[in-house]
Structure 1
């Protein structure tokens, strides 16, 4: 199938400008890509670059090279219109003694989808939302979060893997949080909608108190992985997950900007640093809101998103 793609491969650059200190070359092939990042700053440690969760294939004093299959490195697949897109993030995490700030750069290989090509089971539920120069994603994933789910149907009690992310582009590294999430039987929330609360109180996964739902360990700050236990809501009907996604300063966590889940026989735990789990103490009372402070000093980024439809089946019915 991929052999049809190479003649019409399109390379999308989502960043407004490239750094004057570096040059990125991206070669999108039928089923793999090669990325070469060239640095002119002598202080940069090219071994610290990552493509998704992958280390460089090779690196030198000035270059980091990645030659990777799209099935590796946590590439995300997005089918939209006539395009099949593979997206990832190139990240640089500077060492503690370095003066070079870490950053993230989007990597996208896009192909014109052949007219006779269709997903094996369905078009992946993976929605994209733009807000300024940020691009938010939310989607259903497979069991190990390595790619899109192959079905939108989940048995009652099974785990629904959900991933949300933000393409940071020209921003400094951001932390992606889920501030609120509810499940509903309607694609738009209405006063008469039947809803089930999943996350509330500024990032508290309250569903984890009565289920196996939990946040998975982060692979990168710009993504958050949620393992949601399929709930009893609208059995056999279409279900939609409505969320508020927040892009935030990684150093600005407080009791209104956090990701907390409940660990049985332990209590509330902060996803990003369990040593500061006291930020979750308000999860069963009220986590008071305050004025949003921005990464740039003015405001934070909040985006509403809807995931679905998906279907939850009761095996006993």
Structure 2
């Protein structure tokens, strides 16, 4: 399937085929890579080389060969502007009593990003909801928000990167907000459900008052990135995060339609315009609009309920 996605992809800095770096030859293809390492140390054992988590595909007395897909070996995928890169590390593990020193060497394949990359890669791994010609997504991401998370297990105190988005299609430009998010141990919120509040009071990230949780700067108005610090709730159990996603008129922000997080030095801050942070002043009391608006849809926007999970928060390193 990757071959279909990447048909016609262009190599940039690694164009044309083969990169030679000292004892390493690297052949970057559309969805896979071949790496040949020729070992100059006579006492080294080529079978002890690893490309990420992968063992050599084959080896001789002097060479270790890897012929692997980017979906394997824990390759890291990153999009920066119009460039997409796959990175990994070639390592040599020596035994404790060996005089052969371990090594680590970066492996990088760079491509021009296809224009249709975003929906093809992300849609299958996100929870997707449709309403009134708008398509909402919510999902767990890797640490720099460049791709889906590789694990749904998060050690206590680490960050849980969450991205939500709305596909606008032909709709007017919309601002995506998280009006409310709570963690629970059930995929449906029930009266007896034990919950942990994350975002309350119409867009206030209340968890940020006691943690390092925060909204990340926006890449575009139709997405919102949340770095949520893993909290001490239902450790070791399945956790579901229940949210209300709001697609809203960018010009219609008020104290009930906003994204606020707590800055330890400056107090409550508005994500989209810190100079307008007075909209967040109600986060420690009650945020209410001065006039009535529809709670589901209307001229200003649409609200969509979504559930993310299950994920697991662990006591120690995962």
Superposition TM-score tier, normalisation by shorter sequence: 0.5 to 0.7
Structure 2 distance, partners of 1:262, 1:172, is 30
Structure 1 distance, partners of 2:162, 2:117, is 15
Partner of 1:200: 200
Deviation for aligned residue 1:236: 0.6
Matches within 5 A, 1:56-205: 68-69=112-113, 76=118, 85-86=120-121, 124=125, 126-205=126-205
Partner of 1:54: 81
Matches within 5 A, 1:134-283: 134-283=134-283
What's the TM-score once normalised by structure 1's chain length?
0.63
Structure 1 distance, partners of 2:275, 2:6, is 49
SS in 1 for 2:275: helix
Structure 1 distance, partners of 2:5, 2:272, is 40
Q: Is this contact kept in 1: 2:5–2:117, CA < 8 A?
A: no
Deviation for aligned residue 1:132: 1.1
Q: Is this contact kept in 1: 2:208–2:262, CA < 8 A?
A: yes
Q: Is this contact kept in 1: 2:157–2:230, CA < 8 A?
A: yes
Structure 1 distance, partners of 2:247, 2:303, is 7
SS in 1 for 2:246: strand
RMSD: 3.0
The CA deviation string for residues 183-226 of structure 1, in whole angstroms up to 9 with x for no partner, is: 00000001111100000000000000000000000000000000
Q: Is this contact kept in 1: 2:268–2:277, CA < 8 A?
A: yes
Q: Is this contact kept in 2: 1:185–1:239, CA < 8 A?
A: yes
Equivalenced residue count is 221
Unaligned runs of 5+ in 2: 8-29, 32-78, 84-110
Q: Is this contact kept in 2: 1:175–1:248, CA < 8 A?
A: yes
What's the TM-score once normalised by structure 2's chain length?
0.63
Q: Is this contact kept in 1: 2:205–2:214, CA < 8 A?
A: yes
Q: Is this contact kept in 2: 1:74–1:145, CA < 8 A?
A: no
SS in 2 for 1:154: strand
Deviation for aligned residue 1:297: 6.3
SS in 1 for 2:279: helix
SS in 2 for 1:251: helix
Deviation for aligned residue 1:292: 3.0
Structure 2 distance, partners of 1:53, 1:218, is 15
